[in-house]
Amino acid sequence: MAKTVKFGFWSIVLLGINSIIGTGIFLTPQEVVLKAGSYTPLVYMIAAFFAIILAVTFASASKYVNTNGAAYAYSKAAFGDNVGFYVGITRFVAASIAWGVMATAVVKTSVNILNGPTDISTSQVTLGFIILMAILLGINLAGTYVLKLFSNISTIGKVLALVVAILAGFVIFMKTGQNHLAEVDTMVAIKMNLTTMTGAIMAAFYAFTGFESLASAASEMENPEKNLPRAIPLAIIIIAIIYIGIIGIGLMINPSAIVVSKEVVVLAAVFDNPLIKNIITYGALVSMFGINIAASFGTPRVFEAIASEGQLPRKFAAKNAKGVPLFAFIITAILAILIPMSFQYDMKGIMVISSVSRFIQFLVVPMAVVSFYHGKSKQAILQNVSKNYLTDVVIPVLAFITSLFLLLKFDWQGQFSLISDTGNSHLNFYAIGSMLTGYIVLPIILKIYNDWYIKQFESH
């Protein structure tokens, strides 16, 4: 029997970087700048700090529970089957939709690179979507070694693109000796207050999300209880340095490009040199493709983890000879295609849907880690764990308080509203309906179905 190839420490770090650096830093810095102006680098620092304390919390949880599922596995171990099931299902739904967002981005960017900044039809995106999913399925079916190879290459490619941009910007700054950061506030009408700052932090934080899914496939990793707690924070720190570097240098040399650009890859607009622009644009495409690889690897394994624990029919946990949960992959891919399609591939609308589930995790997992530390879990956890009061109690409590604060201060009404062509605001009923379906209706239906299925199975 062939030996199963698993992710080692540095491959986990690269997978973490690949899971996080995606659409956010390449496509959305404009939103942060419009909210925060010259405070943008500070906002990214705060968002990075928030991401680090959450990453440390998830890393601490992985010391106690090394099974697949990440937040699902931690919640189930700490608080029992019902809480674990709800966190797992909502996490799976949000992760599938988030995968849909990232797939939409890579398809639209590819079409724009090939055809220029023209209008993209729904049929074009749908066809591109199906082709992308088929490619990702092929990569997964090839096995962990091939997937790890693609993941590592795409991670190195996107990091190199960002590093080249930082170095090029630094050279431009040294040659001109001009710092335009102070000019940003004259370009955007900002009213810095707690609500505005919170919105900016949340927008910047989106570029750091993805770390919470890294442990979804812990069984595919070498010594996950030792490697994950070291790999997750290290990946976040590396990313924070890169993000703050690229945003800071962009605002210093050409802030107006970020503010007014209509290009798909906003960061590319900062540079006039065609070579640098192409490096960033194609680096963004590699980045988006890479994060799709990470999503195609981790998201189906959340569904598989729930099924393998018997909280969904176990047939959904079945794996092929290469260790790929094929049923779970197909179900995840279908959901990732259908939800964005129902929103006509409006990225703002579908990005909103995945945000609440992250905060469910960010509230439950810190409490789970504290319960692990005090030995009060509902189910068995790993023994002989090296406990640390700072990382297992203080930081999780800080993560819980920060998550709750941002959740309460965030402008949810604005996120669930759309601005019409006439300038009028109206509710986004697609978003509201999807939220209710994904986080209330679907968990209830699956719970009822699963209880019935178990009774039927046990009766025979």
Q: Place 2 in a pLDDT band, splitting at 50, 70 and 90.
A: very low
Q: Which of 447, 355, 398, 370 is nearest to 97 (CA)?
A: 355
User: CA–CA distance from 93 to each of 173, 220, 232, 435 (Å)?
Assistant: 44, 22, 23, 10
Distance CA 175, CA 180 (A): 14
Pick the closest to residue 333 from 58, 122, 173, 138 (CA basis). Answer: 138
SS3 7: strand
**pLDDT of 346:** 64
Give the tens place of pLDDT for each residue, 235-292.
888 888 888 888 888 888 888 888 887 776 778 888 888 888 888 888 888 878 877 8
Structure tokens at 278: 């192409």
Structure tokens at 217: 């496939």
Q: Note the pLDDT of residue 420.
A: 62
| Most distant CA pair in the chain, distance | 79
Whether residue 302 contacts residue 95, with contact meaning beta carbons closer than 8 Å, is answered with yes
Average pLDDT, the chain: 81
Q: Which of 303, 290, 307, 353 is nearest to 333 (CA)?
A: 303
Residue 148: the pLDDT is 74
Phi, psi for 427 (deg, rounded to 5): -70, 145
Confidence of residue 5 (pLDDT cuts 50, 70, 90): low
Task: State phi, psi for 419 to the nearest 5 degrees.
Answer: -100, 120
pLDDT at 80 over 70: yes
Evaluate whether 60 touches 371 at the Cβ level (below 8 Å). Answer: no
Report which of 391, 445, 109, 45 is spatially closest to residue 244, judged by C-alpha positions. 45
- Report residue 13 as tokens: 């770090």
Percent of residues, the chain, with pLDDT higher than 90: 9
Residue 328 in contact with residue 303, Cβ under 8 Å? yes
Question: Which stretch of 47-51, 141-145, 266-270 has the lowest confidence by average pLDDT?
Answer: 141-145
Q: What is the mean pLDDT of residues 67-95?
A: 87
Distance CA 439, CA 114 (A): 38
- The residue that leads in pLDDT, 347 or 67, is 67
For residue range 294-303, list pLDDT tens digits in order.
788 878 888 8
CB 336 within 8 A of CB 99: yes
Question: Which residues contact residue 279 at a Cβ distance below 8 angstroms, ignoring those fewer than 6 apart?
Answer: 161, 164, 165
Higher pLDDT, 389 or 153: 389
- Rounded CA-CA distance 36/70 in Å is 33
> Which tokens is 318 given?
């079945």
- Residue 191's identity, in one-letter code, is K
Among 7, 2, 1, residue whose Cα is nearest residue 219: 7
The three-class DSSP label of residue 333 is helix
Which pLDDT does position 368 carry in this prediction?
96
Domain boundaries, the chain: 9-459
Domain 9-459 bears CATH identifier 1.20.1740.10 = yes
Integer Cα distance of 96 and 92 in angstroms = 6
What number is the average pLDDT over the span 54-71? 85
Instruction: Give pLDDT tens digits for 301-335.
Output: 888 888 888 888 888 888 887 778 888 888 888 88
Radius of gyration of the chain (CA): 22
Q: Write the single-letter amino acid at 380.
A: A
Q: Can you tell me the mean pLDDT for 357-383?
A: 89
Contact in structure between 117 and 105 (CB atoms under 8 Å): no
- Mean pLDDT is lowest, of 219-223, 350-354, 400-404, 423-427, for 350-354
For residue 361, the number of C-alpha atoms closer than 13 Å in the C-beta half-sphere is: 30
Phi then psi dihedrals of residue 7, to 5 deg? -75, 125
pLDDT 10s digits, 113-138: 777 655 667 777 778 888 888 888 88
pLDDT digits (tens, 9 = 90+) for 196-249: 788 788 888 878 887 777 766 666 778 877 787 888 888 888 888 888 888 888
pTM: 0.80
Query: Using CA atoms, how far apart are residues 402 and 332, in angstroms rounded to an integer?
Result: 31
H-helix segments, 309-421: 326-342, 347-353, 355-373, 389, 395-409, 412-415
Read off the pLDDT of residues 22-34 as tens digits, 9 standing for 90 and up.
Answer: 767 776 687 788 8
Compute φ and ψ for 417, nearest 5 degrees.
-120, 150
- Rounded Cα distance between 262 and 170, Å, is 24
Cβ atoms of 169 and 253 closer than 8 Å: yes
Q: CA-CA distance, 243 to 240, in Å (whole number)?
A: 5
Q: How confident is the model at residue 344 (pLDDT cuts 50, 70, 90)?
A: low
Q: Are 391 and 138 in contact (CB under 8 A)?
A: no
